[in-house]
Amino acid sequence: MAATDVLDQLKQFEEQYIPFPTFVAAKDAIESSLSLFRETGLAKHMLVLGEAGTGKSSLCRWLAERHPKRVLPERNIVEALFVATPPAATVIGIADAILTALGDPWHERGSVTAKTARIVTLCRECRVEIMLLDEAQHLHDRGDTRTHYMVGDWLKHLIDAIGIPTVMLGLPRLERLLEINDQLRRRFSRRLRLGLGQSDTDSVETECLQLFLSLVSLVSVPVSSRPYDSKEMGMRLYFASDGRVAYIKKLLASALQQALDQNLDVVDAEVFERAFTDELWWEGIGKLNPFNPKFEFRRLDRGGEPFQQAEEGRPRKAR
């Protein structure tokens, strides 16, 4: 296959959004909050939590496409304001980020008080109807409890002043920020969690397999679980991805690229074994590779492994 055709197919695959249940639930909840604000003026806030690779940034991109910025001669209309929270964010740092997202050419100028006033004014002038703070766990990543309280207190005053629904998206440790500030916690009482493993009826392995099959339908090369049956393939997919959507997609994208580059007739477990080593973990060989026959069927969360458990997280068990 020509190189341009390979690149086109990979690009099309990468651009696909995966409507897994918790992604759809979060999307619908945000859209519902926006509709409520438009109809009644009530601003309801929420947290969207998930580990790395569970779809938080993809959710932001999807909403950005649904609500694009409109550039008019007299002003910009920004229905949905998307803000990437900077690492180890200070109050002034997050204020800069919000002003930058609003298009303020002088976002670096002024005191915290002056920046906050400009945010409020620009949100009104640009007719912002909802604000989404992605990577919001960075609000908790700097300083001590006193600093966290000050950041939370400033954010509380800001969202009250702009009076629009606010969504914070981040890693689970974001909840610690709310534990410190009671008033902020009350404003963000609604919490949604992204990721697999939350179904009351299906195991996380079954969810992984269902997601995988939905992605397979998007590719042009036949995919087979051989030499494993579908149930065992679901288990191997879970351990290869830790139940994280982005890793399942990365795995299939790497396998697809191999198939297109090498003109393979089918993508099978042997191809996925190479893809896991190439794309997800270079040390994932033999019994440490979920697609190898000698794999030990355990989470790869020990020291130096791809899903090493962060200290603030809680381990999950495969069912």
Domain parsing of the chain, residue ranges: 3-17+201-288, 21-193
- Look at residue 315 in the predicted model and tell me its pLDDT: 40
- Look at residue 6 in the predicted model and tell me its pLDDT: 56
Question: Using CA atoms in the order 223, 228, 232, 233, what is the torsion angle rounded to 10 degrees?
Answer: -20
Q: Which residue's entry shows tokens 């695959």?
A: 13
Locate 316 and state its tokens. Answer: 């999950």
Locate 184 and state its tokens. Answer: 């902020």
Q: Cα angle vertex 94, ends 89, 95, to 5°? A: 150
Which CATH number does 21-193 carry? 3.40.50.300
Nearby residues of 136 by Cβ (< 8 Å), 6 or more positions away: 85, 168, 169, 170, 174
d(CA 244, CA 74): 44
- Look at residue 10 in the predicted model and tell me its pLDDT: 64
Decide: 94 and 130 in contact? Cβ < 8 Å: no
With H, G, I as helix, E, B as strand and everything else as coil, classify residue 43: coil
Nearby residues of 18 by Cβ (< 8 Å), 6 or more positions away: 55, 58, 211, 214, 215, 245, 249
**Nearest one of 171, 79, 36 to 28, comparing CA atoms:** 36
- pTM comes to 0.80
- Look at residue 313 in the predicted model and tell me its pLDDT: 41
- DSSP one-letter code for 90: -
Nearby residues of 193 by Cβ (< 8 Å), 6 or more positions away: 22, 48, 49, 50
Locate 87 and state its tokens. Answer: 């690492």
Backbone angles phi, psi at 295, to 5 degrees: -60, 145
Total residues found in the chain within this entry: 319
- Look at residue 316 in the predicted model and tell me its pLDDT: 46
Locate 292 and state its tokens. Answer: 């190898």
Decide: 92 and 109 in contact? Cβ < 8 Å: no
d(CA 26, CA 45): 12
Locate 269 and state its tokens. Answer: 């477990």
pLDDT tens for the chain, 319 residues long, are 555 665 676 677 676 777 788 899 999 999 999 999 999 999 999 999 998 888 898 899 899 899 999 988 888 899 999 999 998 888 999 999 999 999 999 998 999 999 999 999 999 999 999 999 999 999 877 667 777 888 889 999 999 999 999 999 999 989 988 888 888 899 999 999 998 888 888 888 888 888 888 888 877 788 999 999 999 999 999 999 998 888 998 998 899 889 888 989 999 999 999 999 999 999 999 999 999 999 999 999 999 999 987 654 444 444 4
Q: Which residue's entry shows tokens 């509709």?
A: 35
Q: Which residue's entry shows tokens 């803000």?
A: 83
d(CA 318, CA 197): 9
- Look at residue 143 in the predicted model and tell me its pLDDT: 67
- Look at residue 28 in the predicted model and tell me its pLDDT: 96
d(CA 188, CA 166): 9
> Considering all CA atoms of the chain, what is the largest pairwise distance in Å, rounded to the nearest integer?
65
Determine the residue type at 114.
A
